[in-house]
Structure 1
């Protein structure tokens, strides 16, 4: 299936749009993954690193506060530093609880548990007892506890440093994974863009080549050819590629050649019309001479009428004798008419019987056809039923009824045929009587024939003379009327042809033809003839009523119609 130009352009644009959507989706996917990586680094690493650093810083502050209280063992310093240690301890507990509530890897969980154990030992065995001793004023015991506290700090610091280092390591891993995803996505996008550009270039190349092949050349060249043809210049040459038989330019070349041929034929037709106009003028002159011949025909008519006078008198005498013989022949004809009437009645009766025979035969034919169908259906029903042949009994009953109807119709046919034979015999006798009567008529007719011979001879002369007169008068009248009408109509037709030829010449003069199709136009001369008010031939033909011809419709015969009703039982 060949795709249309619209479909091809739509497919190319759709492919480029799809490629843009794919590249955009890949970019969005990369941005999403980058955003997820940054969110993971911030929530799981940066925030956790800040919490661990805060805990470490607060531990250092508690260590310094305890040292400061021992260095200045006065009530004011002890109170301030003790309260600061309690505050920092509470802050450490809160911050550490927030850290433990976040998602922790198995390694983070192990280090966090170890720090919790070291911190609890450090507080329970060193920091809290030392602060309690300071508040009680036992400075020496506080110093000993402070030394133990200092000995427990490295273990807790080691755990917190391990947690800090683990957060940095995890953040580095997230960065490396993000970089790897970026490289993979970048390579995919670059390959997609490169492949899309190559495919788009190939699609564009083949699309442009296909469009150029369908056009057959540059669109501007095709437009120039169309403008030249529209301006009437049919001498323009349409250049097409070798082997091009289906492009737009090839179709335009074919159109230009056909137009040139058509215009050339139209010009030749105008010359033919001019010649026909001249012939019509000659015909008008010929009609004038016919009119002069009508005068001599009228003179001959006068002499023929004189000869008819004597012939008519002789026919009158013969007619009287023929009248007497006709009376005698009339009686004989009456007898023959009566016999013939009886024959007609007898034949009419035979005809009626024949019609009934035809009807009965038609019924028998219909019954025979139905019997055949019923027998067929009975066989089908019996075959379907197998052992349970209930339907066969119903069909068999219908067959018997139709057989009885056929027998009755056959009896009626036999009776009617016998009656027709008897009537035919009677008709034969009557025909014999009619024959005898007709013999008498023949004898009388012979006598009448002798008399009518003379009448016939005279009648022939009269007929010949009358026919000559009638023909002459009729011919003179028809010829005179036809001549007058023809002269007027021919003049109108000649003028109409002249006008149409002029219009055609003007229309065709717009086109320019090369030497192969050019034709020299024949100048038209005006034909001036005296005319009376008459309807031109063209107008008479145009005003003639249209004749509606109905197609013949074939009617199916009675037998086919009857069988059509029994197509299905």
Structure 2
């Protein structure tokens, strides 16, 4: 029940109770002081004033009688009259003091006693002192002396007894008032002591409760803080309160949960980083191997292009030789006038072969143009070799296909040229027999010469295009070397990442988490899959060299590449070429 009350409310309640107790004690003290003040005022303004007034009245009466006694003893004194006058003044002062007393508040008993005293006092003054003063004023000393002994003294004694009774009443009243004041004082002191004791007990009790409400959960929070600072995040923080300290423990519990989640995430992340870095390292190794294989393939491609250049050059030489043979055939055709018809037929055949050659040359020209574009694409893709040469693989494949087509076209040109040479030989033989048709044969031979010139020019253009392709392949080789260097840097970075992940895992290993959450498994290096080795083996096989131009062997087409398996599950898709 008390644990649900906030410390603020406890402090307010404690201060309120203590304030109420202080207020009660203050009110009681004020009441006691007021009562004491009233008693003191009663004593000062009533009892003391009454006693003083009665005493002054009695003193003045005593002085008046003493003055009369002096005149009676010295009746012949010069100031006897003046002394009697002072006796009258003393009596007047006594009456004045007595009137002051009668004007003060009186109780019923005091009123009765004061009335009796007033009667006896008046009797003493009127029937005693005034008669004696008259006798002395008249000089009747003997009468005055006799009256003093017989009449004045009994009146004085009666008045004195009444005054004594009234004085005793005043004293007893003062004593009673003092006793009442003492009782009130003792009661107020007792109540004050009780209030002080109750206040002290309440203060001690509230202090104990406040200390228990503050320092016990504070000690608990400090213990949890110490455990957290030691790396122990597995302690259960039990919250049994709903006050400020309960809110503090709730915040500490939330902080511990979030810190545990953070440490757990860092620990899992470090394991994932280690695993990923291992896979990256493995992928870098595979990439390095493939880059080396790619460089080897580029070298083989360059060699093949050199052979293709040699073949094209040889075709151009053959075309020039064919042109020379056509000129020779023109000279020989002068002797073949007798076989004009056959020469015409032969020249028709040559014309058809020349058309085929023109078509083939057109194909070769188109191939050279496409080869130039592909070489440009290869240069662009080489500049974008961020995906480990994926685009370059496609460009290289197209280059191989175009090389294959170029080789086939070169072979066809060769066959046609050989056929043209045979036909031209036959035509020359016929021209030697047909002298009458030499003009037509010469004209046809010139046409053949022009065609062979075009073939030669096309061969030179093809040679230039292949040279550009060779330059592009050289640039690809340079980019491949740069990729190899980047792969080495990536391998070094992955190794540094592994070291950082290990250091991070070691740093967070000091934290002790809940048993329900197990730490991440140790990162294992990614294994190289068999597919990669197979692809590497396939890539290491040397490319088939192109046959020389004079050979009649069939063209060799480049083998189609097989895609390699990924080095690890997290690595990207790789494509071998």
Q: What is the TM-score with the length of structure 2 in the denominator?
A: 0.50
Equivalent-residue separation in structure 2 for 1:10 and 1:486 (angstroms): 76
Equivalent pair of 1:130/1:145 in contact (CA under 8 Å): yes
**Quick one: which of 149, 166, 173 aligns to 1:163?**
166
The equivalent residue for 2:274 is 271
Q: Aligned in 2, Cα 1:481/1:31: closer, same or farther, shift over 3 Å?
A: same
Which residue of structure 2 lines up, in the alignment, with residue 136 of structure 1? Answer: 138
Alignment partner, residue 53 of structure 1: 55
**Closer, same or farther: CA 143–520 of 1 in aligned 2, 3 Å:** same
The one of 29, 33, 36 aligned to 2:35: 33
Offset of 1:97 from its aligned partner?
4.0
| 2:88 match | 86
Larger of the two Rg values belongs to structure: 2
Take 2:5 and 2:383, find their aligned partners in 1: how far apart are those partners? 73
Measured after TM superposition, the shift of residue 138 of structure 1 is 1.6
Q: Is 1:289 aligned to residue 260 of structure 2?
A: no
1:126 is aligned, of 120, 125, 128, to 128
Root-mean-square deviation over aligned CA pairs: 4.9
In 2, the alpha carbon distance for the partners of 1:203 and 1:464 equals 103
Deviation for aligned residue 1:130: 1.7
Contact 1:127 1:149 (8 Å CA) reproduced? yes
Quote the offset at 1:168 in angstroms: 2.2
Equivalenced residues, count: 372
Partner of 1:340: none
SS at match of 2:231: coil
Larger RCO of the pair (alpha carbons < 8 Å, separation 6+) = 2
Q: Which residue of 2 aligns with 1:474?
A: 377
Q: Which residues of 2 match residues 372-383 of structure 1 at below 5 A?
A: none
Shift in Å, 1:89? 1.9
Alpha-carbon distance in 1 for matches of 2:497, 2:5: 48
CA contact (8 A) 1:301 1:469 kept: no
**Alpha-carbon separation, structure 2, partners of 1:114 and 1:505:** 119
Partners of 2:215 and 2:489 lie apart in 1 by 56
Q: 2:196 aligns with which of 193, 196, 207?
A: 193
Q: Could you tell which deviates more after superposition, 84-93 or 40-49?
A: 84-93
Judging changes above 3 Å, is the alpha-carbon distance between structure 1 residues 492 and 14 closer, same or farther for their aligned structure 2 residues? farther
How far the C-alpha of 1:143 sits from its partner, in A, is 3.8
Match of 1:234 in 2: 231
Q: Report matched runs for 1:420-431 at 5 Å.
A: none
Q: Counterparts of 2:100 and 2:192 in 1: how far apart (Å)?
A: 41
* Gapped regions of structure 1 (runs ≥ 5): 307-458, 525-569
In structure 2, stretches of 5+ residues that fail to align are 313-361, 390-478, 526-577
Task: Normalising by structure 1, report the TM-score.
Answer: 0.51
Contact 2:278–2:498, Cα closer than 8 Å, also in 1: no
> What is the rounded CA distance, in whole Å, between the counterparts of 1:261 and 1:22 in structure 2?
61
In structure 2, the CA distance between the partners of 1:39 and 1:236, relative to structure 1 (3 Å rule), is same
C-alpha displacement at 1:132, in angstroms? 2.6
Deviations 1:216-249 (A, max 9, x none): x5465345335xx2xxx42576476698996467
